[in-house]
Amino acid sequence: MLDKTPKELYERKALRINPAKTCQPIGAMYAALGIHKCLPHSHGSQGCCSYHRMQLTRHFKDPIMASTSSFTEGSSVFGGGSNLKTAIKNVFSIYEPDMIAVHTTCLSETIGDDLRTIISQAESEVPEGKYVIHANTPSYVGSHITGFSNMIKGAVTYLSQNTGEANGKINVLPGFISPGDMREIKRILNVMDIPFIMLPDTSEVVDTPMTGTFEMYPKGGTKIKDIIDAGNSNYTLALGKFSSEAGAVALEKKCKVPMEVMNIPLGIEAVDKFITELSKITGKEVPYEIEEERGQLVDLMLDSHSYFFGKKVAVFGDPDTVISLTEFIISLGMIPKYVVTGTPGDSFDKEIGEMLEKAGIKDSIVKNAGDLFELHQWIKNEPVDLLIGNTYGKYIAKAEDIPFVRFGFPILDRFAHHYFPTTGYKGAIRLVEMIANAIMDRIDRDAEDEDFELVM
């Protein structure tokens, strides 16, 4: 497995091997799926759209719909305006969404297609009461997380309005997380009796039930009227700097909604901060139900501590979730030895560096814009006890025989993960269980018969 990866480190400047990121449009497609009755549209050649639908489908094991401008060589030279106009006409007459959310690719960005102009020229093709919005998502900038962020920004920029009638709600931009996580965050808000608007919300869109009927536009997704109304909210909580800050800033600029960026509420400290902040902003008390969950998590952390203490962990994935996860790993008494994201951005290194310093952890490597080839090389030089990351980590886990926890996006080789949260105290409890199981399964596997324990 991965036999061609040498132990000797080698600094690369140009060759990316086994990336820990993918490109913008898939993030924008995911964000657009979190809007009710919205069809994502990829303005580029159709290969991108098929690939992005493919990867999301493989992660969620659910239908992922999107249309494309299907560029040909001609449109690549002369611009894709007529392709998009034809697409808008076809999509509204055949597939009847309430909104088309257009994103771009490296092709239309390199050409310099002016989407705002093209969309305004296509106005006559847009039925009454329907919308076409767009976000520029050049694949050669940032990562899928950047694309997600750009689409949220696009949605609020196009739609949100401050009409002067306060709605008494708070906006929650949950970041690039799974529908299971969005459900959990909504549950917390409901338990705390806080009225809110969440954007996007992919629950009930990419985790739909089997009923014998295919719904092209499932029940879920943020309603367009709520995105408009987000301009009238009291406050915006942007969860995850990389995936949510831009949307919140745009909303503040356009509609004067005050905002705050927080870490994704994953692990005990980030959830504590999230709950505390919710209580502060709204003046609502934290109900016992939440305290009980927290208490159960702490109980679990104490019960299981001996399996975690001092263990070295390699973790990779998307910056917002990895930052929170790293903090949680420290809270469990483990050592985040290698922390990698493929998404570029120095604030990743900085924030994690501060956490490590605060915990007195030295000799860890933290890297943004890194990749799995280098991570594997580090592991070859100084091994770890646990690997946490998306499905592509399974190759390293097998090659180096490391216990492995699947976390983040994409998970292509397991079922049901997207039904369950990793956010909130509930999600933290699940993470502890997953991590403990991986470590304890390994202890069982490796134990001599005479050391094989009944009770652990």
Partner 1 sequence: MKKIVDKVLEKYPAKTFKTRKKHIIVKDDSYEIPQIEANTRTIPGIITNRGCCYAGCKGVVVGPIKDMVHIVHGPIGCSYYAWGTRRNKAKAEDGEDNFIQYCFSTDMQESDIVFGGEKKLRQAIKEAMDLFNPKAISISATCPVGLIGDDINAVAAEAEKEYGIQVLAFNCEGYKGVSQSAGHHIANNNFIKNVIGKGERKYDKKWNINLLGEYNIGGDTWEIERILKKIGYNVVATLTGDGSIENIRNAHKANLNLVQCHRSINYIAEMIETKYGIPWVKVNFIGIDATIQTLRDMAKIYDDPELTKRTEEVIAEEVAAIEGELVYLKQRLEGKTAFLYVGGSRSHHYQNLLATFGVETVLSGYEFAHRDDYEGRDVIPTIKPDADSKNIEELKVEKDEENYRIILSEERYEKLKKDVPSLGNYAGLIKESKNNNIIIDDLNHYETETFIKVLKPDMFFSGIKDKYAVQKMGVMSKQLHSYDYSGPYAGFKGAVIFAKDVLAGVYTPGWRYVTPPWKTEPLIEGTIEKEGAAC
Contacts to partner 1 from residues 73-132, by CB under 8 A: 73-76, 83-84, 86-91, 93-95, 105-107, 110-111
Q: Which residue has the tokens 């949680």?
A: 328
Tell me which residues in 36-55 interact with partner 1 (CB under 8 A): 41, 44-48, 50-55
Q: Considering CB under 8 A, how many residues would be counted as binding partner 1? A: 82
d(CA 128, CA 374): 53
Tell me which residues in 197-256 interact with partner 1 (CB under 8 A): 208, 210-216
State yes or no: residue 19 binds partner 1 (CB under 8 A): yes
State yes or no: residue 416 binds partner 1 (CB under 8 A): no
Tell me which residues in 318-347 interact with partner 1 (CB under 8 A): 342
192 touches 287 (CB < 8 A): yes
State yes or no: residue 9 binds partner 1 (CB under 8 A): no
State yes or no: residue 23 binds partner 1 (CB under 8 A): yes
Tell me which residues in 141-180 interact with partner 1 (CB under 8 A): 141, 143
Question: Which of residues 101 and 432 has its CB atom nearest to partner 1 in the complex?
Answer: 101
Tell me which residues in 385-414 interact with partner 1 (CB under 8 A): 392, 395
When binding is defined by CB under 8 A, the residue of 18, 121, 162, 279 that contacts partner 1 is: 18
- Structural Rg of the chain based on CA atoms: 23
Q: Which residue has the tokens 């909303």?
A: 251
68: closest CA among 24, 11, 29? 29
Tell me which residues in 351-380 interact with partner 1 (CB under 8 A): 373
28: closest CA among 38, 40, 46? 40
Per the structure block, which two tokens stand in for 122? 């296509």
For residue 35, the cross-strand partners are 222
State yes or no: residue 62 binds partner 1 (CB under 8 A): yes
State yes or no: residue 419 binds partner 1 (CB under 8 A): no
Residue 88: count other Cβ atoms within 10 Å of its Cβ. Answer: 24
Least Å from the CB of residue 81 to partner 1: 11
Least Å from the CB of residue 73 to partner 1: 5
DSSP string covering 179-214, please? HHHHHHHHHHHHHTT--EEESS--TTTSSPPP-S--
Question: Which of residues 210 and 302 has its CB atom nearest to partner 1 in the complex?
Answer: 210
Residue 451: count other Cβ atoms within 10 Å of its Cβ. Answer: 9
d(CA 248, CA 397): 38
